Chain A
């Protein structure tokens, strides 16, 4: 019987059936569930890597070692892994290697919406793109065949609406793959200039061979309907086209979006009266087609920004908009917030109170940028907080550094914050870095990392000692605080920003969602004592609201962390009872 499967679970199943032996990833929405689902198959060794570059390098090693290997990451993770990717594109594989990129058009949970199909063209490797969970499974099997047949890594691109959509899947059996012999082959795997020049020639030969392969692969297909309109599309937009236009159109559905099947495209273009390209984000297909003299309509109708949907396709191509009654006034937005009891909240309350410049990083704690905490000044990419704080100091002087703090999570620090800290010490900076250590990778759903002391399978392993690591970089001022002790947090932050040398403050308390039991007792407001000053509102806690200026605790949300009682101006107006 067919079963309902998340796109990411189907990719994992595909990896299992393809005989994958090694899989590595760093968590990142919308890719995280791929590796989590792979752990269901004991035949595959799965591991969280500290970052995407290491994840891909582990997969590269497994491939050179003769095993089928997979690495998975979100779109921006491929930026981190781009270094090994571009040169592994030269060496090619021994066991097949597939790199999953999970793109996030619309930026549901990302800092940009880059279109990673370009990575395939840039690195000169084939790009495969499925349209639903069944294809995700089947195309993974094909991707490994392509990888081994053409001696190339394969980029497998999905987007949020595939990764996080469930559809029906028929599974198959695992095709157990023999680990191929390991052969020392310096000309193939040691990319020094003389060898790399030879390999580059192979890459160009490979692209030619792939260009003829894609003309006949079943991954690319034409669905003939009315020939008045032809649409070239791929991935999730294919589903939107079928939804919006039904069988009134002919569709050239691309399962391999790089390189393109030019004969197929020209034949299709010649048969239809009007030709459209429907693709999300960049005109990746359209520009190549125009450059090759295929006259298509695309981005003059469809935006380069955000997600597509069936609505705009039906409107622009069929001229039949869906009838929609919009609301007369837009309802108030509901931005995400830190959870009640979140250990990050109090830190930002203090940083905001001290009016510090805060360079931020990627994780739940990026929410400290939003009102009322409004604490973060910049957020660029994983690990950027520390380098950015150092750059600010070098541009604006040490006095500015006395008013600046870098904040970074524990998982992000291990991902790519360590090198930033090494740089601060090496280049005689005086930054203050706060590691908000909630002992997990929280935003993506609580994955372990080297500093939690647990593997992906929750087996005990060596726990990276953050304090020892930080001291080894040359930072001598290292302190640990409880983020629920606001007085202490303020005292330590004031002292460390004043120091004329680098310092690190570790604010350590587990994520509120990991601690199943809320703190004992219940927070209660005494309305007779509450002065209505709304200082507790500056915490931005969803469990606190105001009724005619008087504070009110929503006990179904409250986690009894007690921060509101600590910040309250009036003694005993908010108290914890029943402890």
Chain B
């Protein structure tokens, strides 16, 4: 059985259709990324899955339960990290974790969580004194302390410096080792590429592509070949790079000249994403 099953999900705010018929499945143990620019409907979708918002149409099952009608038993099994890390500023990291651990029937030991999110040294530090990255990791710890099967992460590294992002990625990878199902939203492509088994790209409330990051890149059209000829840059896009490259190099060899600045590139997920999410010309 899937961890999450979404069919034709719809949600409007007044005249604005934020989510327009979204469908996807997330398997157990999978890391699933929802990728898209701001306003694409990522947070709305995730907040419906978390039980915060009511949907206007479609069907949603999370761990076999409709989140709109879910109770405490269901909340025992999910962990949530929201976009902003809200915490009691006057408690220490350890106290904060103990407080949240008490909300669950079966919780993960606080020592273990502290270790998992890399806050052993900050355990007795007051939340107010934690850095942005440390707060975010504590927030993740709060989502893990109930030992959930499924974890939602809404933009877990937004606003991080590169070092803090790498640390957060390490932590998230270790979660995957625990066999957790993870749904994360992000607008960073490298994050989705590195962390997610599968990615759904959202644009204006619709899924425009879904699949493993490598497959999305593979499905993208052309390979790009660039070189300079007589000081002029030549750019070729082709679906059969082997043939084109062979012809080019054969010709250059025959003429005994160098293809200056020759570059052959596969598009990165970033370019795929930009193609998928760019506004269509009217």
Asked if A and B are interacting partners, one says: no
